[in-house]
Amino acid sequence: MSYDHKAIEARWQKHWATEGIFRAEADPSRPKFYNVCMYPYPSGALHQGHVRNYTYGDLLTRYKTMQGFNVLSPMGWDSFGLNAENAAIKDGIHPRINTENNIDTMRSQIQQLGSMYDWDRELASHDPSFYRWDQWLFLELYQRGLAYKTAAPVNWCPKDQTVLANEQVVEGACERCGTPVVHKNLAQWFFKITDYADRLLDDIETLEHWPERVKTMQRNWIGRSEGARFDIEVDGGDSFDVFTTRPDTIFGMTFCVLAPEHPLVPSLIADSENEAEAREYIAAANRASELERMAEGDKTGVFTGKYAINPVNERRVPIYIADYVLMGYGTGAIMAVPGQDQRDWDFATKYGIEIIRTVQPPAGWEGEAYVGDGTTIHSGFLDGLERAEAITRITRWLEEQGIGEATIQYRLRDWLISRQRYWGCPIPMINCDNCGLVQVPEEDLPVLLPDIEDYLPKGRSPLAAVDEFVNTTCPECDGPAQRETDTMDTFVDSSWYFFRYADARNDEAIFDPEKPAYWMPLDQYIGGIEHAILHLLYARFITKVLYDMGLSSVEEPFMRLFTQGMITLEGAKMSKSKGNVVDPAGLFASHGADALRLYHLFMGPPTDDAAWNPNGIDGTRRFLERVWKIATEDYEFADHGADNADQEILGLAHRTVRKVTEDIDRFHFNTAVPALMVLCNEFSDYLSGSPRRETYEDVLRLLLLLLAPMTPHIAHELWEQKGYGNMLATEAWPTWDPELAKEESATLVIQVNGKVRDRIEVSADITSDQARELALGSDKIQSWIDGQEVKRVIARPPNLVNVVVG
């Protein structure tokens, strides 16, 4: 019988599903393993990135199951979002229909890959039974002061016609479509993630099994800066706050700068001789996209006509407006110290402002602003102090004067969650003329997303055009009121879905806290590196909120994070738009899911990007053919007792068990696969000699057990055909016998002065002295020594002897 992958794969997929072997139930008597692949956005069909992800995930699910863990491996759909909506607009099909069709296609392909999930816990974020708990969670955050609505300058994507979170703006452009982002002043909903900045930063230390680079990216994103905040008076009334990390340089302040959006600006310029010029500058700054503002390079600004008083020396310094100061960071105002800050230096040089150095640069310094350490100069009572001491001293002085204090500033800003788009979870709030902002009562949840005809973006949510949706009555005063028409960022959904898996069918509550208390935290989370900041930071934040609410037993959701590399083709990322995707469906038919899985495991280090080689899968398919042949061929077994050949192949099999186990544990799948190939090659050689039945069966059993998590279909089929059992998935993972695994012999490499000059086969338990003797006894080595003095002999039995002569 030949290897008919289609029949075998279909048969076992059906069998696993009907047996329900991956349905998980909490069981405190067993060690649990909660294993999640980041739930996919249902784009239409699986791409090789998904295949890679789910192959790794399923390998672990099966491996850990065989090791006796109670494994939970669920699957769901990140089904709300702009992609679905834009696709729907393009094709003229309602996003729900499109999305649900895509889910069906992808679910079926995931099953064809042989990936096993607990489908009883399947969830989709566009399903009202899921998003009602988004709404519930929103209201909880609102009640805790963690959700608020405010007018603020926000990032606006002119193409997608919606606002974006800071995290979704990449190099001044929309992360999704690349359109340059502009600033708008809009009333929007925010989650107060900044309240958790310190905890989010501190707890990164506890994430031992996260990739270092992801942790670094999160640290940079949170961007903690220590410094001081203090009050500066405007000559003639008013005052403003500034933040600085270098209060020690305060004597060098020769001007101040306010961001164009700073609230004090209008009154400052009101009756100034520069008013017209200033207004024009502010208007231009407002119009300019983020990209244009950055691209200018040259610092620009305008004098307000007003002066500020430096609190340490009463010096009068000019106040400027300049867009290199950002309203969103610190206080939107700075003390400018050109001597110690290159940006201030550039500005001062351009506008002819005085520069005073307050830190002594090193001898021979020819640079411009000096930002390094040094002794404080030209600074009154700070003179002669080193930086740290000067900072302490001036901060204490500011506190004594009652005008300032030490403070910590974060780069992280609050999470903007409103979206002016249709395909998302409606924000459950109502605007009442009498009562103001009113929550939708819990019993009225979910606020259903209505079916509409026209979901084209028009600069406001398409829901705003749906009277039946908008018009409602106020839950408090029963008067006429209007619903919020913005929807939530889909990253809200993905911030807690892994809790919901633990109790996915609960109609009474977001989940029963007892359920995730067993499963959480995730023992393994696998996904793309592109989520290093956005999703993983938001999910950590919401988990901490749930912890504070008493709903989560853990403060950190993801114990081990694995970020896989991308699949590339001819140097480019595979993507629909580039038209270079390799569709798994064709490969299921031509090579089979097992060959595809094995190729993904074999390709290269899982963390690295991997280049797709169209011929690579031929190799893994050939390997499976050989496995098939080994298992199904008829042999004439010899009657003799176990000889050398038997010992060798058994020893290799046990060493392979050890190697594969260790490699899976450290995520080195690309070296586990070759170990199996070597075993098969040697096994074939053994079988072409005079094999014994016992040895054959022992080695074959081990081979199939090791293949079970990687290529489950063929492994199950052969396991059953050989009569070893009818459900390999629940067999115990093999252990290796250290005695059998021991190498009998080794190659002793003999070097003279570090160069390999001879090799001798030796027994593996050779001693140092024996190795030494053998080395010096070798004719070849003697001819290399050639009468020279032997100075040292370094022996590392059984592998190496180095003879040092000269």
Partner RNA sequence: GCCCGGGUGGCGGAAUUGGUAGACGCGAGGGGCUUAAACCCCCUUGAGCCCUGACGGGCUCGCGUGGGUUCGAAUCCCACCCCGGGCACCA
- Output the smallest distance, CB 85 to RNA, in A: 24
661-667 long-range Cβ contacts below 8 angstroms, 24+ apart = 661/733, 661/736, 664/59, 664/60, 664/63, 664/709, 667/56, 667/562, 667/606, 667/607
CB of 6 to RNA, least distance (A): 17
Alpha carbons 10 and 713: distance in angstroms, whole number: 9
Nearest residue (CB) to RNA, 244 versus 485:
244
Partners of 767 in beta bridges? none
For residue 114, the minimal CB distance to RNA (Å) is 21
Q: Estimate to the nearest angstrom the gap between the alpha carbon of 666 and the chain centroid.
A: 19
The nearer residue to RNA, 287 or 622, going by C-beta atoms, is: 622
Q: Which two structure tokens, joined as six digits, stand for 320?
A: 């400027």
Q: Report the alpha-carbon distance of residue 401 to residue 723 in Å, rounded.
A: 87
712-721 vs 693-707: helix crossing angle, rounded to 10 = 150
**Token representation of residue 232:** 């500066």
Q: Which amino acid is at 724?
A: Y
Cα 496 to Cα 42, 191, 218, 536: the distances in Å are: 18, 14, 19, 11
CB of 205 to RNA, least distance (A): 16
Q: Which is nearer to RNA, 122 or 292 (CB)?
A: 292
Shortest reach from residue 503's CB to RNA, in Å:
34
Question: Nearer to RNA by C-beta: 60 or 333?
Answer: 333
CB 619, min distance to RNA, A? 3
Count CB atoms within 10 A of the CB of residue 94: 16
For RNA, give the closer residue by CB, 258 or 449: 258
In the complex with RNA, which residue's Cβ is closer, 153 or 616?
616
Minimum distance of RNA from residue 755's CB (angstroms) = 6
Minimum Å distance from CB 213 to RNA? Answer: 4
- Pick between residue 117 and residue 623 the one whose CB is nearest to RNA: 623
Length of the chain equals: 806
Q: How far is the CB of 666 from RNA (least distance, A)?
A: 8
Q: Which is nearer to RNA, 399 or 476 (CB)?
A: 399
Structure tokens at 616: 């690579």
Question: Distance between CA 701 and CA 716 in Å, rounded?
Answer: 11
CB of 293 to RNA, least distance (A): 5
Burial label for 204, CB within 10 Å (0-12, 13-18, 19+), is middle
Q: Rounded CA gap, 776 and 767, in Å? A: 14
CA distance 577 to 592: 26
- For RNA, which is the closer residue by CB, 216 or 471? 216
To the nearest whole angstrom, how small is the minimum distance from the Cβ of residue 295 to RNA? 8
- Cβ-based burial of 195 (10 A; exposed 0-12, middle 13-18, buried ≥19): middle
Q: Do the Cβ atoms of 281 and 260 come closer than 8 Å?
A: yes
In the bound state with RNA, the residue whose beta carbon lies nearer, of 154 and 610, is: 610
Comparison of 128 and 172: residue with beta carbon closer to RNA: 172
Instruction: Please give the single-letter amino acid code of residue 687.
Output: L
Encode 505-560 in three state secondary structure. Answer: CCCCCCCCCHHHHHHCCECEEEEEHHHCCHHHHHHHHHHHHHHHCCCCCCCCCECE
